[in-house]
Structure 1
Amino acid sequence: MTFMVILFEIGSTPMFVLGSKAKQDAWLAMIVGAAAGFALLLLFLWIQRRLPEMELKGMLRFGFGRIIGGLISAIYCCYFAYESMRNLRDFGELTAIILLPATPMSITMLMFLMIGGYAIWKGAKTIFRLPEILLPGLIFCYFVLIIMFLLMKIADFRRLMPVAENGLRPILNMALPDIVSFPFGQIIVFLLLWSLWKQPGVPVKQTIWAYIGVSLFLIFMVALNIAVLGPDLTHSSVLPLLKAVRTLTGLKFIERLDILVTFMIFIGLMIKMLIFFYCSVRMASLLTNQSEKIWAIAIGAVIYAASFIERDYTQHIAIGLGPSLKIDVIFQVAIPLVLALALALRGRKSFNPPG
């Protein structure tokens, strides 16, 4: 569970410098976003501990009633599919930009989606084994990359100064709700996953320590990108991390590090796309009492078709880091808060749904 939380939260986040409009204070915006996300995490853990035997669908029906709870569950199913679609489109765009410019995105996205669908077909155990295999290598690659930046003396942390030059308002505006929504609030998916943990109870300590560790990592990566590129270039770059890696031109024994970074991002994207895909499938399966394998095919087809709605990468990023983040607040903050209030008013510690 620890590895899954870490890899899911990393996801595609290093592709971007979140809060870059705050210039050199973007790392402070990340701190604020991580702190607010931690409060959300505690809320989700509280809900799960109140209803430890249940998943999100059961929680919603218990808190809002059979009809309204079922309707909200169906909307969450669509929401998870939408988030999976966004990560699938990221796959296609990144592959076209960096690796295979002559290959149609329709082919590369179909291949990635089929891999995700196959993992879902094999079941939750297969999905949870993936981070155990992928995360150690990913951490090693990021560690080597950071060491190279520091040894080559490309990173100048004086570019992070002056701190809070324009006050706290720009920092708060960047952090709330945008950075909270992506990536920290997305941990709501674990309300569908914590109950699958093989040990009894809720993995509170494992989840909290994983969240703290990955938050510190993401904060540092934002600071590192700004230290390498400077605040202005970081804000204007479409893919700041790739641009930062291309500054390592002094290395005579390694070439095309951008391809290595692309594969590193692919790992995070794959896990995030897969988890959202699986949560949508699982929610649909729980609502209809139909096999997850059947829903994997149907929802996979919808995700693939929807990934072509946005015209180009510019529109994709503008929607993903704009209106989409505002809608996320409804699913990540508003509904869980109302659900928690309903549970508190009922004063129930656990609930076993009828068989």
Structure 2
Amino acid sequence: MTWTETQKDIMTISTTTPANSSYPCVDYNAMQIPLAVLYSIIFIMGLAGNVVALWVFFCVHSKKNSVRVFLINVAFADLLLVFCLPFRILYHSQGNRWNLDPTLCKVVGQFFYMNMYISVTMLGLISLNRYVKIHRKSGMQCSTRGSAVFCAFVWIVAFCFILPILISRNPPNENRCFHYKVLIDQKWKAYINISVLVIFWLVFIALIVSYGKIALKLLRTSKNQPALPNAARYTRTAKKSFFILFLFTICFVPYHLVRGFYIRTQITTTSCFWMDVADKANEVALLFSALNSCLDPIMYFLLSSSVRKEVLRLVSSVLCTRSVAVGSGSSSTADFDCRNGRTDNGQPNITLIPNSSREKAASIANIAGL
């Protein structure tokens, strides 16, 4: 049977096919091997990166602040998302057939999306927090306890969003998972997806505004006061802000651009061709969203001084250990110097800065998240 004949057949029976059934006109097997391989890579990288980040956040003693609380929640959400990936890998590696309990499919799918959007929301809260700091609205600044309350609220709301879907009845004889579904008879699910889509674009606008303000502030400071300590560093930090926004755009914007078209095909009468297009576009864009779980550790390195210092310390420790193994007595001195932050001549690497300038530099560094 040709593709054209199949398409005609599906158009003929589309009015009698159950809303949640998998349509044979959607070629589910076209991308199964690439998806299994790519999700495996994302799983390994995301697991390693977020485990290291959480280890630093919880085991390395550092100053607690609101940004650190948000970053811990981002890392935890990314880790839970990564734990959903083995089920997707298993599904795609078995010819896109779900051989486990249908309820487990629903739970894994909803937790995947829940943790993805929790990560998105936490990034929005981080941008709002830094936006408030840069305008020095001290009365509006969020404390560590306040940040924890915000995070708990986000987790509760996210779970409430997926709860109706989790308790809904499973379709009969369903052997598919993570596949295209028509929601003409269940538009309430589409409305939940639309509301989440609106939340994403609001968060994205907040990110653009806040990081734009932060970058302009730092660039203006480094330009107008070049004698200020670490002035050149502020320019680099401004570029980091744009890099964070770049990562967010690459990972999440393609999926949410496709998502509007995807939802429309689910709730309206759609030809077989556009169903297949929507399914393929959604799968590719979803890969970029999952990729964020292994790129977020780069963000932790940029935003958290404790993560940055610990990673640099570990790298320095490894390099110094190698020098001790290869060299003789002089390498022991090099190891001591490396670990104690001293210069080659044995003197502490300290730069004398006037108190007033140092305080101003510290204030701007706090805004920048240095």
TM range (shorter): 0.3 to 0.5
Q: Normalising by structure 1, what TM-score?
A: 0.34
Q: Which has the larger radius of gyration?
A: 2
Q: Normalising by structure 2, what TM-score?
A: 0.33
